[in-house]
Structure 1
Amino acid sequence: MAVFGNRGTALLLAGLWGIAGCGGATARDTVPTTSGLPVPRYVSLKSDHVNVRAGPTKDQDVSWIYTRSGLPVEVTAEFENWRRVRDSEGAEGWVYHSLLSGKRTAVITMKKKDQLASLHDSPDEDSAVAARLQAGVVAQVKRCNGSWCRITGNGFDGWIEQERLWGVYADEKVD
Protein backbone atom coordinates (compact mmCIF):
# COMPACT_ATOMS: atom_id res chain seq x y z
CA MET A 1 0.00 0.00 0.00
CA ALA A 2 1.43 3.38 -1.00
CA VAL A 3 1.78 6.12 1.52
CA PHE A 4 1.44 9.69 0.24
CA GLY A 5 2.80 11.54 3.25
CA ASN A 6 1.47 14.91 4.36
CA ARG A 7 2.34 16.73 1.14
CA GLY A 8 0.85 14.03 -1.12
CA THR A 9 -2.32 13.80 0.97
CA ALA A 10 -2.74 17.58 0.89
CA LEU A 11 -2.36 17.63 -2.91
CA LEU A 12 -4.81 14.74 -3.31
CA LEU A 13 -7.39 16.41 -1.06
CA ALA A 14 -6.93 19.76 -2.80
CA GLY A 15 -7.47 18.08 -6.17
CA LEU A 16 -10.60 16.26 -4.99
CA TRP A 17 -11.96 19.46 -3.45
CA GLY A 18 -11.34 21.29 -6.74
CA ILE A 19 -13.15 18.62 -8.74
CA ALA A 20 -16.10 18.63 -6.34
CA GLY A 21 -16.32 22.42 -6.54
CA CYS A 22 -16.53 22.42 -10.35
CA GLY A 23 -19.89 20.70 -10.76
CA GLY A 24 -23.30 22.28 -10.99
CA ALA A 25 -22.35 25.64 -12.50
CA THR A 26 -24.80 27.04 -15.02
CA ALA A 27 -24.74 29.94 -17.46
CA ARG A 28 -26.84 31.91 -15.00
CA ASP A 29 -24.55 31.44 -11.97
CA THR A 30 -23.09 34.84 -11.17
CA VAL A 31 -19.74 35.88 -9.77
CA PRO A 32 -18.66 39.04 -7.88
CA THR A 33 -17.73 41.85 -10.27
CA THR A 34 -16.09 45.26 -10.25
CA SER A 35 -19.31 46.87 -11.52
CA GLY A 36 -21.52 45.16 -8.95
CA LEU A 37 -23.68 43.81 -11.80
CA PRO A 38 -24.17 40.09 -12.39
CA VAL A 39 -21.96 38.12 -14.76
CA PRO A 40 -23.05 36.68 -17.07
CA ARG A 41 -25.63 39.22 -18.28
CA TYR A 42 -26.90 40.52 -21.60
CA VAL A 43 -26.27 44.09 -22.74
CA SER A 44 -26.20 45.82 -26.11
CA LEU A 45 -23.69 47.84 -28.09
CA LYS A 46 -24.08 51.59 -27.60
CA SER A 47 -22.23 52.64 -30.75
CA ASP A 48 -21.99 51.64 -34.40
CA HIS A 49 -18.18 51.48 -34.05
CA VAL A 50 -17.02 49.22 -31.21
CA ASN A 51 -13.45 47.92 -31.12
CA VAL A 52 -13.19 44.38 -29.77
CA ARG A 53 -9.74 43.73 -28.33
CA ALA A 54 -7.74 40.60 -27.59
CA GLY A 55 -7.34 41.64 -23.94
CA PRO A 56 -8.61 44.21 -21.42
CA THR A 57 -6.35 47.18 -22.26
CA LYS A 58 -6.05 49.70 -25.08
CA ASP A 59 -2.58 48.27 -25.73
CA GLN A 60 -4.14 45.02 -26.92
CA ASP A 61 -4.72 44.50 -30.64
CA VAL A 62 -8.17 45.17 -32.09
CA SER A 63 -9.45 41.74 -33.13
CA TRP A 64 -12.48 43.10 -35.02
CA ILE A 65 -14.93 46.01 -35.03
CA TYR A 66 -18.68 45.80 -34.47
CA THR A 67 -20.49 48.19 -36.81
CA ARG A 68 -24.06 47.82 -35.59
CA SER A 69 -25.42 49.77 -32.64
CA GLY A 70 -27.96 47.84 -30.57
CA LEU A 71 -26.48 44.40 -31.21
CA PRO A 72 -26.90 42.17 -28.13
CA VAL A 73 -23.81 40.71 -26.47
CA GLU A 74 -23.32 38.69 -23.31
CA VAL A 75 -20.89 39.97 -20.68
CA THR A 76 -18.90 36.92 -19.55
CA ALA A 77 -16.22 38.62 -17.41
CA GLU A 78 -15.10 42.00 -16.08
CA PHE A 79 -11.66 43.48 -15.49
CA GLU A 80 -11.63 47.04 -14.17
CA ASN A 81 -13.46 49.08 -16.87
CA TRP A 82 -13.32 46.31 -19.48
CA ARG A 83 -15.96 43.70 -20.27
CA ARG A 84 -15.34 40.40 -22.02
CA VAL A 85 -18.31 39.87 -24.33
CA ARG A 86 -19.62 37.03 -26.47
CA ASP A 87 -21.88 37.58 -29.48
CA SER A 88 -24.63 35.36 -30.88
CA GLU A 89 -22.10 33.55 -33.08
CA GLY A 90 -19.86 32.72 -30.11
CA ALA A 91 -17.04 35.19 -30.84
CA GLU A 92 -15.45 36.66 -27.69
CA GLY A 93 -13.32 39.69 -27.00
CA TRP A 94 -12.86 42.67 -24.69
CA VAL A 95 -14.82 45.94 -24.97
CA TYR A 96 -14.51 49.15 -22.95
CA HIS A 97 -17.50 49.49 -20.60
CA SER A 98 -18.71 52.88 -21.90
CA LEU A 99 -19.43 51.32 -25.32
CA LEU A 100 -22.07 49.03 -23.79
CA SER A 101 -25.66 49.80 -22.80
CA GLY A 102 -28.02 48.13 -20.35
CA LYS A 103 -30.74 48.47 -22.99
CA ARG A 104 -31.98 44.97 -23.81
CA THR A 105 -32.03 43.75 -27.38
CA ALA A 106 -32.16 40.28 -28.90
CA VAL A 107 -31.48 38.47 -32.17
CA ILE A 108 -34.13 36.21 -33.70
CA THR A 109 -32.82 32.64 -33.89
CA MET A 110 -34.18 29.68 -35.80
CA LYS A 111 -32.95 26.10 -36.19
CA LYS A 112 -32.87 26.58 -39.97
CA LYS A 113 -31.81 29.89 -41.50
CA ASP A 114 -34.66 29.88 -44.04
CA GLN A 115 -37.39 29.49 -41.38
CA LEU A 116 -39.40 32.48 -40.20
CA ALA A 117 -40.32 33.21 -36.58
CA SER A 118 -43.93 34.13 -35.86
CA LEU A 119 -44.57 37.36 -33.99
CA HIS A 120 -47.97 37.25 -32.25
CA ASP A 121 -50.46 39.90 -31.09
CA SER A 122 -50.40 38.47 -27.56
CA PRO A 123 -48.27 35.99 -25.59
CA ASP A 124 -50.27 33.01 -26.83
CA GLU A 125 -49.48 30.57 -29.63
CA ASP A 126 -53.13 30.70 -30.76
CA SER A 127 -53.21 34.52 -31.07
CA ALA A 128 -53.07 36.24 -34.45
CA VAL A 129 -49.70 36.40 -36.18
CA ALA A 130 -48.65 40.06 -36.46
CA ALA A 131 -45.49 39.43 -38.51
CA ARG A 132 -42.98 36.81 -39.54
CA LEU A 133 -39.32 37.59 -38.87
CA GLN A 134 -36.13 36.17 -40.35
CA ALA A 135 -33.29 34.77 -38.28
CA GLY A 136 -30.77 37.52 -37.55
CA VAL A 137 -33.29 40.34 -37.10
CA VAL A 138 -32.36 42.50 -34.08
CA ALA A 139 -35.22 43.67 -31.87
CA GLN A 140 -35.65 45.74 -28.73
CA VAL A 141 -36.84 43.64 -25.79
CA LYS A 142 -39.68 45.45 -24.02
CA ARG A 143 -40.57 42.71 -21.53
CA CYS A 144 -40.50 38.95 -21.00
CA ASN A 145 -42.70 36.80 -18.78
CA GLY A 146 -40.42 33.77 -18.71
CA SER A 147 -41.77 32.09 -21.83
CA TRP A 148 -42.80 34.95 -24.16
CA CYS A 149 -41.17 38.33 -24.90
CA ARG A 150 -42.68 41.50 -26.32
CA ILE A 151 -40.28 42.88 -28.90
CA THR A 152 -40.30 45.87 -31.21
CA GLY A 153 -38.27 46.94 -34.19
CA ASN A 154 -38.42 48.70 -37.51
CA GLY A 155 -42.03 48.06 -38.57
CA PHE A 156 -42.96 45.35 -36.05
CA ASP A 157 -44.30 45.03 -32.50
CA GLY A 158 -45.54 41.86 -30.87
CA TRP A 159 -44.87 38.76 -28.81
CA ILE A 160 -42.45 35.94 -29.62
CA GLU A 161 -41.59 32.72 -27.84
CA GLN A 162 -38.61 33.43 -25.60
CA GLU A 163 -36.71 30.39 -26.91
CA ARG A 164 -36.55 32.11 -30.34
CA LEU A 165 -34.34 34.91 -28.96
CA TRP A 166 -30.61 35.17 -28.33
CA GLY A 167 -30.15 37.94 -25.80
CA VAL A 168 -32.61 36.73 -23.15
CA TYR A 169 -31.99 33.78 -20.85
CA ALA A 170 -34.43 30.86 -20.70
CA ASP A 171 -37.15 31.59 -18.11
CA GLU A 172 -35.77 35.14 -17.55
CA LYS A 173 -38.30 37.82 -16.69
CA VAL A 174 -37.64 41.29 -18.11
CA ASP A 175 -39.68 44.38 -17.15
Structure 2
Amino acid sequence: MKPRQIRYAFLLCACVLGVNAAPATAANEDKVPYWASVDAEVANMRVGPGDSYRIDWVYRRPHLPVKVLRREGPWRLVEDPDGAQGWMRDLLLSRQRAAIVKKGELVDVRAEGRSGAPMLWRVEPGVVGLLGECKDGWCPFDAQGHKGFVREERLWGAGAP
Protein backbone atom coordinates (compact mmCIF):
# COMPACT_ATOMS: atom_id res chain seq x y z
CA MET A 1 0.00 0.00 0.00
CA LYS A 2 1.43 3.38 -0.99
CA PRO A 3 1.75 6.01 1.78
CA ARG A 4 -0.74 8.35 0.11
CA GLN A 5 -3.43 5.65 0.20
CA ILE A 6 -3.64 6.04 3.95
CA ARG A 7 -2.32 9.59 4.24
CA TYR A 8 -5.76 11.09 4.75
CA ALA A 9 -6.94 8.76 7.51
CA PHE A 10 -6.92 11.33 10.32
CA LEU A 11 -9.05 11.41 13.42
CA LEU A 12 -11.59 14.04 14.36
CA CYS A 13 -12.14 14.91 17.98
CA ALA A 14 -15.47 16.76 18.09
CA CYS A 15 -18.89 17.25 19.61
CA VAL A 16 -22.21 17.06 17.78
CA LEU A 17 -23.60 20.56 17.12
CA GLY A 18 -26.54 22.11 15.32
CA VAL A 19 -24.88 24.78 13.12
CA ASN A 20 -26.20 24.78 9.56
CA ALA A 21 -23.40 24.60 6.97
CA ALA A 22 -24.93 24.28 3.51
CA PRO A 23 -22.38 23.22 0.89
CA ALA A 24 -21.28 25.79 -1.68
CA THR A 25 -21.10 24.97 -5.38
CA ALA A 26 -19.09 26.59 -8.14
CA ALA A 27 -20.96 28.94 -10.46
CA ASN A 28 -19.41 28.12 -13.84
CA GLU A 29 -18.40 24.53 -14.56
CA ASP A 30 -16.52 25.43 -17.76
CA LYS A 31 -13.94 27.72 -16.17
CA VAL A 32 -10.78 26.31 -14.64
CA PRO A 33 -9.34 26.24 -12.11
CA TYR A 34 -12.18 25.33 -9.75
CA TRP A 35 -12.60 23.37 -6.53
CA ALA A 36 -14.11 19.89 -6.46
CA SER A 37 -14.09 16.99 -4.03
CA VAL A 38 -13.60 13.24 -4.32
CA ASP A 39 -17.03 11.64 -4.60
CA ALA A 40 -16.09 7.97 -4.23
CA GLU A 41 -14.85 5.56 -1.56
CA VAL A 42 -11.89 4.74 -3.83
CA ALA A 43 -10.63 7.11 -6.53
CA ASN A 44 -7.67 6.48 -8.82
CA MET A 45 -5.42 9.28 -10.00
CA ARG A 46 -3.71 8.42 -13.27
CA VAL A 47 -0.63 9.83 -14.99
CA GLY A 48 -2.66 10.65 -18.12
CA PRO A 49 -6.25 11.29 -19.23
CA GLY A 50 -7.42 7.75 -19.99
CA ASP A 51 -7.99 4.29 -18.51
CA SER A 52 -4.89 2.97 -20.28
CA TYR A 53 -2.61 5.26 -18.24
CA ARG A 54 -0.92 3.95 -15.11
CA ILE A 55 -2.56 4.63 -11.72
CA ASP A 56 -0.26 6.92 -9.74
CA TRP A 57 -2.26 7.33 -6.52
CA VAL A 58 -5.28 5.69 -4.93
CA TYR A 59 -7.43 7.93 -2.72
CA ARG A 60 -9.64 6.40 -0.04
CA ARG A 61 -11.04 9.60 1.38
CA PRO A 62 -14.50 10.76 0.27
CA HIS A 63 -14.89 14.55 0.20
CA LEU A 64 -11.14 15.14 -0.07
CA PRO A 65 -10.87 18.55 -1.77
CA VAL A 66 -9.01 18.80 -5.08
CA LYS A 67 -8.29 21.68 -7.40
CA VAL A 68 -9.33 21.04 -11.01
CA LEU A 69 -6.67 22.57 -13.26
CA ARG A 70 -7.72 21.33 -16.70
CA ARG A 71 -10.51 19.48 -18.49
CA GLU A 72 -10.04 16.99 -21.30
CA GLY A 73 -13.25 15.22 -22.27
CA PRO A 74 -14.46 13.30 -19.21
CA TRP A 75 -11.04 13.61 -17.53
CA ARG A 76 -9.89 16.27 -15.07
CA LEU A 77 -6.32 17.21 -14.25
CA VAL A 78 -6.45 17.69 -10.48
CA GLU A 79 -4.11 18.75 -7.70
CA ASP A 80 -4.46 17.28 -4.21
CA PRO A 81 -3.75 19.11 -0.91
CA ASP A 82 -0.11 17.91 -0.99
CA GLY A 83 0.46 19.28 -4.49
CA ALA A 84 0.39 15.93 -6.34
CA GLN A 85 -1.17 16.25 -9.79
CA GLY A 86 -2.80 13.68 -12.01
CA TRP A 87 -5.93 12.77 -13.93
CA MET A 88 -9.29 11.61 -12.55
CA ARG A 89 -12.55 10.78 -14.28
CA ASP A 90 -15.24 13.40 -13.77
CA LEU A 91 -17.51 10.66 -12.34
CA LEU A 92 -15.18 10.38 -9.33
CA LEU A 93 -15.54 14.07 -8.52
CA SER A 94 -18.29 16.26 -7.10
CA ARG A 95 -18.81 20.01 -7.33
CA GLN A 96 -19.75 19.94 -3.65
CA ARG A 97 -17.17 22.08 -1.89
CA ALA A 98 -15.04 20.53 0.80
CA ALA A 99 -11.88 21.55 2.62
CA ILE A 100 -9.07 20.01 4.62
CA VAL A 101 -7.47 21.56 7.69
CA LYS A 102 -3.98 22.71 6.70
CA LYS A 103 -0.81 21.41 8.34
CA GLY A 104 0.25 23.07 11.56
CA GLU A 105 -1.42 23.46 14.94
CA LEU A 106 -4.84 22.31 16.09
CA VAL A 107 -7.57 24.57 14.72
CA ASP A 108 -10.40 26.07 16.76
CA VAL A 109 -13.94 25.39 15.57
CA ARG A 110 -16.30 28.10 16.76
CA ALA A 111 -20.08 28.28 17.24
CA GLU A 112 -20.30 31.34 14.96
CA GLY A 113 -18.15 32.92 12.26
CA ARG A 114 -16.32 35.38 14.52
CA SER A 115 -13.30 35.39 16.82
CA GLY A 116 -15.25 36.02 20.04
CA ALA A 117 -17.69 33.16 19.47
CA PRO A 118 -17.50 30.21 21.85
CA MET A 119 -14.97 27.55 20.88
CA LEU A 120 -16.75 24.24 20.33
CA TRP A 121 -13.76 21.97 19.85
CA ARG A 122 -10.40 21.76 18.10
CA VAL A 123 -9.56 19.74 15.01
CA GLU A 124 -6.30 18.25 13.85
CA PRO A 125 -4.59 19.07 10.58
CA GLY A 126 -5.87 16.69 7.91
CA VAL A 127 -9.51 16.68 9.01
CA VAL A 128 -11.81 16.88 5.97
CA GLY A 129 -15.21 18.51 6.02
CA LEU A 130 -17.91 19.88 3.77
CA LEU A 131 -17.63 23.60 3.22
CA GLY A 132 -20.36 26.21 3.32
CA GLU A 133 -20.17 29.73 1.92
CA CYS A 134 -17.26 31.59 3.53
CA LYS A 135 -17.92 35.15 4.74
CA ASP A 136 -15.62 37.65 6.41
CA GLY A 137 -12.79 35.10 6.65
CA TRP A 138 -14.91 32.38 8.32
CA CYS A 139 -16.25 29.19 6.72
CA PRO A 140 -19.04 26.87 7.86
CA PHE A 141 -17.33 23.48 8.21
CA ASP A 142 -19.13 20.15 8.58
CA ALA A 143 -16.92 17.18 9.47
CA GLN A 144 -19.20 14.13 9.41
CA GLY A 145 -22.09 16.02 11.01
CA HIS A 146 -19.91 17.93 13.49
CA LYS A 147 -20.58 21.54 12.48
CA GLY A 148 -19.02 24.87 13.28
CA PHE A 149 -16.95 27.69 11.79
CA VAL A 150 -13.25 27.70 10.93
CA ARG A 151 -10.97 30.53 9.81
CA GLU A 152 -10.71 30.45 6.02
CA GLU A 153 -6.90 30.71 5.96
CA ARG A 154 -6.64 27.44 7.96
CA LEU A 155 -8.45 25.45 5.22
CA TRP A 156 -7.16 24.13 1.90
CA GLY A 157 -10.11 24.18 -0.49
CA ALA A 158 -11.56 27.49 0.69
CA GLY A 159 -11.20 30.78 -1.15
CA ALA A 160 -10.29 31.17 -4.80
CA PRO A 161 -8.71 28.11 -6.45
Common fold by TM > 0.5: yes
Q: Deviations over 1:124-155 (max 9, x none)?
A: 11111011110000011122115110111135
State the AA in 2 paired with 1:74: K
Which one scores higher on RCO, CA 8 angstroms, separation ≥ 6? 2
1:156 Cα offset (Å) = 2.2
1:139 is the counterpart of 2:129: yes
- SS in structure 1 opposite 2:133? strand
Calculate the TM-score normalised by the size of structure 2.
0.78
Specify whether residues 37 and 120 from structure 1 end up closer, same or farther in structure 2 by C-alpha distance, changes over 3 A only: same
Counting only pairs closer than 5 Å after superposition, residues 112-127 of structure 1 correspond to structure 2 as: 112=104, 115-127=105-117
- State the identity %: 32
Q: Deviations over 1:23-82 (max 9, x none)?
A: xxxxxxxxxxxx952211110111011111111111111112111111111101111110
Aligned-pair Cα RMSD in Å: 1.7
Counting only pairs closer than 5 Å after superposition, residues 62-141 of structure 1 correspond to structure 2 as: 62-110=55-103, 112=104, 115-141=105-131
- SS in structure 2 opposite 1:152? strand
More helix by share: 1
Specify whether residues 96 and 146 from structure 1 end up closer, same or farther in structure 2 by C-alpha distance, changes over 3 A only: farther
Radius of gyration: which is bigger? Answer: 1
Aligned residues: 134
Q: Which stretches in structure 2 are left out of the alignment for 5+ residues?
A: 1-27
Q: Which stretches in structure 1 are left out of the alignment for 5+ residues?
A: 1-34
Q: State whether residues 143 and 151 of structure 1, in contact with CA within 8 Å, keep that contact through their aligned partners in structure 2.
A: no
1:167 Cα offset (Å) = 0.7
Calculate the TM-score normalised by the size of structure 1.
0.72
Structure 1 moving runs of 4+ over 4 Å: none
State the AA in 1 paired with 2:120: A
In structure 1, the partner of 2:52 is 59
